[in-house]
Amino acid sequence: MKENPSFYLHENVVSLAQELLGYNLYTYIDQQLCGVTIAETEAYAGITDKASHAYAGRYTKRTATMYRAGGIAYVYLCYGIHYLLNVVTAGPGIPHAVLIRGAMAHTNLAEMKRRMKYKKEGPLLLNGPGKLSKALGITRIHNETPLDGDTIWISQPSAAVEASSIAIDKRIGIGYAAEDAGLPYRFYIKDYWKSKH
DNA sequence: CTAGTGATGTAT
DNA sequence: TACATCACTAGC
């Protein structure tokens, strides 16, 4: 079942980031249905968060997406190569977002491996936001796509992830964020992390 | 460890 | 108009 827009309007982006663990993320792109289970997220808390693109109220053509009402995708290019998928949350004017950082593939592995030119055998581990977007076929044109539509959607799992299997840590790759770099805004499923090694 | 890649934001 | 910067990955 797809989540309603109201699911994304909670103002506490940190608890929503945690809540999204275990949810299913689907894309129907290039006639291919692909599905993954969200296993790693990071919260970006709008204008008060030095790691956020919208820190101090920065409002530009790019960040405008984050100021829209929750329930849409915020996709942007990083390091000139990787598309990163974020879920915009909170009401209009509040630029909160959750970065989807990792997932476990479960539907249409063949297509995802093809997109990634995946070489290895075994389970497809999408441990990194760039890999995730590539596997699902997400690019810049999916910026501002509603998350309850027919292209990208998120659905609740039958069983919630147990609190005991969720790990909390600081976020990755944001050394420039000064004291906010140490905030415990990253959440991941412990088993997923373990299988990475 | 390092190269690669290109849109974005800030300064000129 | 220029140029430094960046929520990363793949390949040594």
The CA–C1' separation of A158 and B2, in angstroms, is 44
Measured CA to CA, the distance from residue A132 to residue A26 in angstroms comes to 11
Is A62 (CB) below 7 Å from strand B? yes
Q: Which nucleotide is nearest to A66 (CA to C1')?
A: C7
Q: Which nucleotide is nearest to A49 (CA to C1')?
A: C7
Digit-coded pLDDT (tens) for A127-178: 999 999 999 999 999 999 999 999 999 999 988 899 999 999 999 988 888 8
With the C-alpha atoms ordered A99, A88, A52, A187, is the resulting torsion angle positive or negative?
A: negative
Measured CA to CA, the distance from residue A76 to residue A48 in angstroms comes to 21
The CA–C1' separation of A81 and C6, in angstroms, is 11
Digit-coded pLDDT (tens) for A46-105: 999 999 999 999 999 999 999 999 999 999 999 889 999 999 999 899 999 999 999 999
Q: Is the pTM of this model over 0.85?
A: yes
Comparing every residue's Cα with the C1' atom of nucleotide B5, the nearest one is: A80
Digit-coded pLDDT (tens) for A43-53: 999 999 999 99
The CA–C1' separation of A82 and B12, in angstroms, is 30
